[in-house]
Structure formats: structure tokens, C-alpha cells
Structure 1
Amino acid sequence: MIIQPLKKFRERLGKFYLPVLLLFFFVFSVGIMYSSVQQNNVDYSEGQVAEENIRANKTIENTTATEQKRTLAAEAVSPEYTYQDGLAQTQHDRVAYLFELVATVNSEIKAAYDKEVADVDEDTNVPKPDTGEYIAALKKEFEKLSDDELDFYQALTTNFLTTLFSLNDDELDTVKTYALQLVDEQMAKQIRQSELNSFRSEAVDKVQFLDVTSDMGSVLRFIVNQGIVVNDFPNEKRTEEARQTAMDAVQPVMIYQGEIIVREGSQIDANALEKLQLLGMTNQTFSVFPLIALLLAMVLQMLMVFYYTRQTKDNEKRLNAVTFYVISMVFSILLMKFFQLFQSELVTF
């Protein structure tokens, strides 16, 4: 048994064996473990050259780096859009209804003029309605529309309406056909605000290849610009949800205890200094409290051993128990110190 070789040594010390053994254990334990709790004066600053490897004193999240990664993840998310395909039919109906209103106004004013001519003498000169009357009559028709529809028709300028009413019925039918064709063709696509002008220009460019007069072309270009609108809108809610999901998926950036922050001989840069500040290592002064805590722990441990061994009346068993305990603890402390040093060497590489 491992205790037997110590028997002669124990007999030689006699009653001093137990105090000497406990004193040895106390001094040995404090001497071995003191380097693990020792705190030195440090004052790190940016640009300073590290005299030794500077390691993290604890495991902690690098909140700044984590937040940066989350921000990058959110910025990498493409905006979500909602395509409103029903707007294509809405714009088609609005353009078609404009020509219906124009035809109605033309018919009503012509009928009123013909009636007035029929009611007067042949020698009486009845002035023909001017363009202003046609435009005024058309705008009265606009007033009957809902607010949602009214916005489209109120955007029609006087110059446009003047040119529109200068066209005859055949020209109006031709313009209507081409206008609906061009608007429908573009509105069938997904149009975002940033691409609106491009889609409008594409449709307007096709007008020059149509067999139409200058006035007809002018009317067509205006209607195409008014009829082609954005139908693919940013969906802020879905975009925000996607960004939040991307941010939540980012794993926290950790600084692990024992991790080398700055290698020996290297300068402390801003990034390393930020980590040291996060770890509370930029300005440390010597503290006696870790040593006091270690001493108290050892004293309490020996008091505990002393208390439990006093429960045994057999002196031989008591001494054997204390000896075995001390040997076990010394071996355990040496083993832990070895693994600590071994881990430190691994981290270096």
C-alpha cells in the first residue's frame, strides 16, 4: 500500500507528523495554485507591443462583432415585393373607359348641335361647339367617378384633351386599339418603381413604328405614360421579417477563455483592444482577494479534514486517512496543473 513507505517517516516525526503533513499540503497547494489566480498589473493601449501572449481571462460574447454580423446578414437580404396582377386589368379598363367617355361626349354634343340647328331658321348661323365645350363636358363626366378612378383622369392635361378631341372617330378607334395593346403588353410584366421609366420608354419607342399621324402619336405616347404604372410594390413587412430571420440565424461571436487575443511580439490593434476592453483587461491592478480566497479555501479544507478525522478514535486509522487524503489531493492538483499547462500550449498553436 502507498501509505506503508511513509510509516517509518511517520514514526520518526511522531506527534509532529500530522501538523507537518498538513503544513506541507497547505504550502504545496498554495504554491501550485497561486499562479492560476495571480493577477498582475496591466495597462494595455493601442499600438503597444505585447511582451507575452495575451489570453482571454473568461468566455464572453463579443457583442460588437455579433451585431456587425447581424447587420451584414440583414443588409444581404433582398427586399420582398408583392405583385398586384390585378392592376393590369384596372389600367386596361381606365384607358378603355376614357375613349368611351370621349365617344359619349362627342355624340351628345353633336346631337345637341344638330338639334339646335334644326330648331332655328336656315339663315341663322349656329356656331359649332369649340374644343373647350368638349373638354368641359368630359370633365363633368369625370366628376361622376369614384376618388380612386378620378386620380387617373385628373392627370389628363388640357393640351392632351385638346389633341384627343381633334381626332375623328376612325382615328380614335385606331388610337384606342394601339393604346390598349401597348399598355396591356407592359402591364403584364412585373414593374417596380425603379424600372417604371424603362418600361414606359420601351412602349413609347414602339409608337414611332405604328401607322399613325403626328397627333395620334402624341395622344398615344401620353396615354401609354399614364396607363403604365407600378404593379410590383415593396412589401416592408415581409422584408423586415426576412431580415429579422437572417439576424436571428447569426450565431453569437464568442471570445473563449484561454484564446490568444494578441500574440507575443505583436502590436495591439484597435480590434484587439476592443476585445480586451470587453474582457475588462485593459487596465488591471494587483488584487489580493484571489490570494485570500485561495488561503481561505485551503484553511477550510484542512479544518474539514481535521473535523472528520476526529470522528475516528483509532489513531492509526486517522493518520492513514489523512495521509491518503493528502496524497490524493496532491496528485489531483498536479494533474489539473498539468492539463492547464497542456491546454495553454495547445492554444498557442
Structure 2
Amino acid sequence: MTGWPQRVAIISDAWHPQVNGVVRSLGQLVAELRSRGIEVEVFGPDRFRTLPCPFYPEIRLALLPGQRLHKMLREFKPDALHIATEGPLGLSARRWARVERYAFTTSFHTRFPEYVAARLPFPRAWTERMVYRWIRSFHGAGSAVMAATPSLIKELSGRGFANVCHWTRGVDTAGFTPELRQETEGLVRPVFLYAGRLAVEKNIEAFLSLDLPGSKLVVGDGPDRAGLQRRYPDARFTGMLSGTALTRAYASADVFVFPSRTDTFGLVMLEALACGTPVAAYPVPGPRDILGGVEPAVGKLDEDLRIAAMAALTADRSACRRFAERFSWSAASTMFLNNLVPIASRKSAQKPKGFTTARLPQGLRA
């Protein structure tokens, strides 16, 4: 089968009104696909009865979605099925596809095994190994699993994941812009910014504990916010920001500090760069995939996060913006479409194949 699907079902346990990188990525993808005339339906927790996630009570998970979700999928009659997450909705959609002998794709957005291991009172290595075994089985039922970076593809393949393919991310360069840069009231420059979820896996204390000049600004919310505010009263915590307020925070900072060692991509880094703000991070997958080869022009990677933060102060803010403009959602969405498989290909006893084998032109590759 050639050409792209006209009806795409995306199953995600992360969806509005949640605010995180997975939701922003899927939201941009859906908008781009719909602009091409493709009918897309996202089946998220907002359509079901929910209960709070054990580790993140602000995140709601669908409660026993099986029969209702299966009915919705039958009525929608998708040409392609993509399962984005491994939660209750993802499990239910996977079960339906296997019973119906339908082909589907998945994506690996979150290092769930590491996050679980950080919260349970069991040996970390054992917990990660057990959870990765389950995650590998989940994705192994699909025809392909999409990963955001070359290093993540290599890592997952090394862990025994089969049919791992590349799906990069983009950034909304119209919404995130340097034009909103202004003086930040009450904050002494240089302003070092972190934006994202406030949770243990984000390693935020590695940033807040640094001896840095100027001010530290923290944008976002999460289960660790209250504890971090108590321990680091000199930092300013704004809570969750969105739209113009978020863009203004990015653009008005002098350096964006990304302390995570576990993120699979780090969309917030691209958002900061699109606002002209250089990035300081550890040289780990995610930051290394994005910034490797272009530092020190747009930021700095170093195992000493203070060295990285101070070095990033000298980066060229115009170069940061130009670099971010290379990551288009148009190119990322084309890559996603190329990875999809016809839903009925497995049921008809054919080997699942993508809708198109066309490669992105060099100029469109993010």
C-alpha cells in the first residue's frame, strides 16, 4: 500500500489538560497532520472516567477504558493505529489490536523503568530490568517503535527492542520567539531558568544547588514543588506558565539549564533555543543528540553543570534562534507518517509495510 493514511487513531494516556512534553509533541503533530487533510482522532483520558496516577495525582488515568475504547475505535475505522503510551489506554488499544489481528505502531516517550525505580524501595538495577522486560514486551507486539533520537534508537536496540525507527521532534518557532525578551522584575541578571515538571527524575536539585551568580527561575509544577521551594528559598518559583507568559520566561532568561539525565529528547531545550536562550546540560542522550556538534555557539554540555551554565552565557542568542529553526514540525510529521503501517496488513496475512518508503529530502530533515 502506498500513500499516507487518511484516518489515523492515536492512543495516549498523556493528553490535554495535562501539560508536558508528550502532550505538546502530540498536539503539534495532530495539528500538522490535520493541516494536510488527514483525519486524526486522539483517544485520551479526557474521554473516560479517570483516577489519579499514584505518583502524579495531578495526572488522571482512564479507569477500565476497554469496552468503550474498543467501540470508539471500531466506529472510527482508522487506516493506521498508533499507541503513544504504555498506560491503561495504551494497554487496552494493544489488546484490541492483537485480538483483531491489526497492525499498529508505538512510540517510546518516557524512561518509565527509571522513573519507577526511583520511587520504589527495591534495588534499582533489578527494578529497571523487570520494568524494561515488560516495556519491551509491550512494544514488541507492534510493527515498529518510534524513538526520538539516534542514541535512544541505539540504546533500545541494545536492550532487545525490535524494529526501532526514528521520529524526531520539532518546535513551534512562531509561538516561541525572542521578541518577548524583557527585564524580569526583581531578578538580578544573569537569570538561569529551568522549565518543566518538578519531579525527582528531572534532577532539578542539581541545578538549584549550583553556586551561580544572578538569579534562578523555576517554571512548572509537580509533586516535588513544595519540597524544592522549602529547600531553595532564594529561587523564584512561578508555577505553571503557558502561551505568552511561558515564551516571555524563556526569552527573558540568560541561560536555560536542563539538569535531567533521563529525558528521551527534551523538547523544552528547543523551546528555549527558539526564544534565543542558550542551553546548559549534561552530555547525555537527549542534550547530546540536540546540541552535539553545535556547542559552544548555542550552549554548553559538561559533566560539571556549573561550568556548562557559565559557558553558555557567552553563546550567540541569534545563533540559538537560527539553530531552532532547523527543527520543523512539518519534517517531523512527515517522518511520523512514513513510520505508520496499514492497520489491516497483519489481519490479511501480509507483512506490515509502511504507507510510503519515501525518504525526506535533505533540506527537510530536522
| More helix as a share of residues | 1
Asked if TM exceeds 0.5, the reply is no
TM score, norm. by length of structure 1: 0.19
Q: Which structure carries more relative contact order (alpha carbon 8 Å, separation 6+)? A: 1
Structure showing the higher strand proportion among its residues: 2
What is the TM-score normalised by the length of structure 2? 0.19
